[in-house]
Chain A
Amino acid sequence: GAVVSQHPSWVICKSGTSVKIECRSLDFQATTMFWYRQFPKQSLMLMATSNEGSKATYEQGVEKDKFLINHASLTLSTLTVTSAHPEDSSFYICSARSQYTQYFGPGTRLTVL
Chain B
Amino acid sequence: GQQVMQIPQYQHVQEGEDFTTYCNSSTTLSNIQWYKQRPGGHPVFLIQLVKSGEVKKQKRLTFQFGEAKKNSSLHITATQTTDVGTYFCAGASNDYKLSFGAGTTVTVRA
Q: What is A's interface to B at a CB cutoff of 8 Å? A: 1, 32, 34, 41-46, 49, 60, 93, 95, 97, 100-107
Q: Is the interface of A mostly helix, strand, loop or mixed?
A: strand
Which residues from chain B contact A45 at a C-beta distance below 8 Å?
A: 100
Interface residues on chain B, number (Cβ under 8 Å): 23
Q: Which 9 A-B pairs have the closest CB atoms?
A: A107-B42, A44-B100, A43-B100, A43-B102, A104-B43, A106-B42, A104-B42, A43-B103, A93-B42
Within 8 A of A (CB), among B1-31: 1, 31
The total of Cβ contacts below 8 Å across the A-B interface reads 49
Q: What is B's interface to A at a CB cutoff of 8 Å? A: 1, 31, 33, 35, 41-45, 48, 50, 88, 92, 95-103, 105
State the CA gap A42–B37 with chains docked (Å). 12
Name which residue of chain A comes closest to B102, CB basis.
A43
State the CA gap A41–B102 with chains docked (Å). 9
Asked, given contacts A44-B43, A93-B43, whether A100 binds B88 with beta carbons under 8 Å apart, the answer is no
B97 touches A101 (CB 8 A): no
B97 touches A34 (CB 8 A): yes
State the CA gap A59–B35 with chains docked (Å). 22
